[in-house]
Amino acid sequence: MRNASVVGAVIVAAGTSSRMSGIDKLWIDLGGKPVIYHSICAFQLLNDIDVIVVVTSATNQEKIRELCRRESLDKVVSVCLGGNTRQQSVLCGLREIPNASLVAIHDGARPLVTPEVIKRGIITAAEKGAAIAAVPAKSTYKVVDSQGKILSTPNRESLWEAQTPQVFNYMDILSAHERAAQQDEVFTDDASLMESMGRDVWVYEGDYRNIKITTFEDVLVARTLIDNRLAKG
């Protein structure tokens, strides 16, 4: 019988760091700890999170298990192998979550997430069923065709930049991923998968500092932000 009080987290860390010139971004140092440590630790510190699954590559599987043992990240119940795509990896992680009602799905390359942001997602998803961290767009965006011609300029007031964690009713998001896998459908994130099923998804307040490390420039920003956080204690 499913325990309605249990909240799980899937941290997706199975990417190839293709834009980092062969450097695995999960192990880049931020304030004396690797990127993946910070991403896991935010969930470890939040009392609302009961269990964590980390999805990773064969190269990093044992290294992350050792990191969790060394750093006492004892909410991590599984470090499992991912698939060929992020969507496949999320499904692998969801299948490892034991007995949860809500699940937060987070990119392992977002080490600056805070327990406060995660908690806001859990509260919103518990009420609405599906919620994603997001921040209002700061820039003007253009819709452009393949030749570079501007087709339209969306109203910035209605544009939000999606982040993670994205938090869902566990059975809803698992069923959505299972169906997408069976029908060979591909989506850009977990929220768009739910939207494709006609489900309402809500945004909750993210954080502009909750950046995703993709390039070396992102590392420089993340290091500055982590150093500022550590300096404040």
For each of the domains in the chain, give its residue range(s) and CATH number, in order of start: 7-225 (3.90.550.10)
pLDDT number for residue 2: 43
pLDDT exceeds cutoff 80 at 176? yes
The average pLDDT across 61-74 equals 98
Query: Quick one: average pLDDT of 38-43?
Result: 98
pLDDT beyond 50 at 216: yes
Where does the pLDDT of residue 4 fall: very low under 50, low under 70, confident under 90, or very high at 90 and above? Answer: low
Distance, C-alpha 56 to centroid of its chain: 13
Whether the pLDDT of residue 114 is over 90: the answer is yes
Q: How confident is the model at residue 42 (pLDDT cuts 50, 70, 90)?
A: very high
pLDDT score at 7: 97
Per-residue pLDDT band for 15 (boundaries 50, 70, 90) equals confident
Across residues 203-211, what is the average pLDDT?
Answer: 98
- Residues 76-112 pLDDT 10s: 999 999 999 999 999 999 999 988 999 999 999 999 9
- In this prediction, residue 133 has a pLDDT band, given cuts at 50, 70 and 90, of very high
Task: Assess contact for 24 and 51: CB atoms under 8 A.
Answer: no
pLDDT exceeds 80 at position 1: no
